[in-house]
Chain A
Amino acid sequence: DTGVSQDPRHKITKRGQNVTFRCDPISEHNRLYWYRQTLGQGPEFLTYFQNEAQLEKSRLLSDRFSAERPKGSFSTLEIQRTEQGDSAMYLCASSSGAANQPQHFGDGTRLSIL
């Protein structure tokens, strides 16, 4: 059973650079979620997709953030002009989309801004 896969696991970049993360959900799952987790805190919701449609975006998702899920399979999260405050763990989760089905998380991408 292949779980949620995220790439890269770690990303170190200079302030002002653009970064892109990839998430491959569990194959039969049609819902895909992005969360952000800072040290000592619980994950915070960023956005989610039902198939290829982006259905909700958090106010945390500024104009510098964009997410896509072409063809309803993998998803990418891009951050443009990175800032120090973007340093965090970016987590992806997927679920089947049926009511109250569990969300399964990947191991995240840790972003460090120099």
Chain B
Amino acid sequence: QQQVKQSPQSLIVQKGGISIINCAYENTAFDYFPWYQQFPGKGPALLIAIRPDVSEKKEGRFTISFNKSAKQFSLHIMDSQPGDSATYFCAASRGGNKLVFGAGTILRVKS
């Protein structure tokens, strides 16, 4: 079963633009929502994470927006750069246990 749904599957953004990736979850017991970045041939690397008692978290050019009532959260990448071209995964977990991942978004930033 797919407990975390991610969209879009792929995204093309101009350099300097804003990249937005959305995720929706079903299990209201989830209490930790990380975003991972993955380059080809590499493992996922943690970008930023949020807990449901916070509606927004910003780290550098990366911002997570969280809507608990809608069971949705999103990643915004400001001033997108060609080096941001990668696959992005949202995930969710309960109590710091196993992560449930979305299917991923392939981001391409055009220079």
Docked pose: A106 CA to B46 CA in angstroms: 12
Docked pose: A108 CA to B41 CA in angstroms: 8
Docked-complex contact B96 and A106, CB < 8 angstroms = no
Docked-complex contact B98 and A100, CB < 8 angstroms = no
- Whose C-beta in chain B lies nearest to the C-beta of A50? B97
Docked-complex contact A99 and B96, CB < 8 angstroms = yes
Q: Which of B13-21, B63-71, B74-82, B100-108 contacts A (4 or more CB under 8 A)?
A: B100-108
Chain B residues, Cβ within 8 Å of A106: 43
Q: Shortest CB–CB separation between residue A48 and chain B, in angstroms?
A: 6
Is A101 on the interface with B (CB-CB < 8 A)?
yes
Binding site of A, secondary structure by majority: helix, strand, loop or mixed?
loop
Interface residues of B in 28-72 (CB under 8 A from A): 31-32, 34, 36, 41-46, 49, 51
0/1 string, B84-111, CB within 8 A of A gives 1 = 0000010101011111111110000000
- Whose C-beta in chain B lies nearest to the C-beta of A108? B43
Interface residues of B toward A: which range? 20 to 34
- Whose C-beta in chain A lies nearest to the C-beta of B36? A105
Q: A91-B44, A107-B41 are in contact. Are A41 and B104 (CB under 8 A)?
A: yes
Chain A residues, Cβ within 8 Å of B89: 42-43
Q: Shortest CB–CB separation between residue A17 and chain B, in angstroms?
A: 24
Docked-complex contact B102 and A99, CB < 8 angstroms = no
Q: A4-B43, A105-B43, A107-B43 are in contact. Are A48 and B97 (CB under 8 A)?
A: yes
List 15 other contacts, CB 8 Å, given A98-B96, A100-B31.
A4-B43, A33-B99, A40-B103, A41-B104, A42-B6, A43-B101, A45-B100, A58-B98, A91-B43, A93-B43, A99-B95, A100-B49, A100-B93, A103-B34, A103-B46
A-B pairs with lowest CB-CB distance, top 5? A42-B101, A105-B43, A45-B98, A100-B32, A107-B43
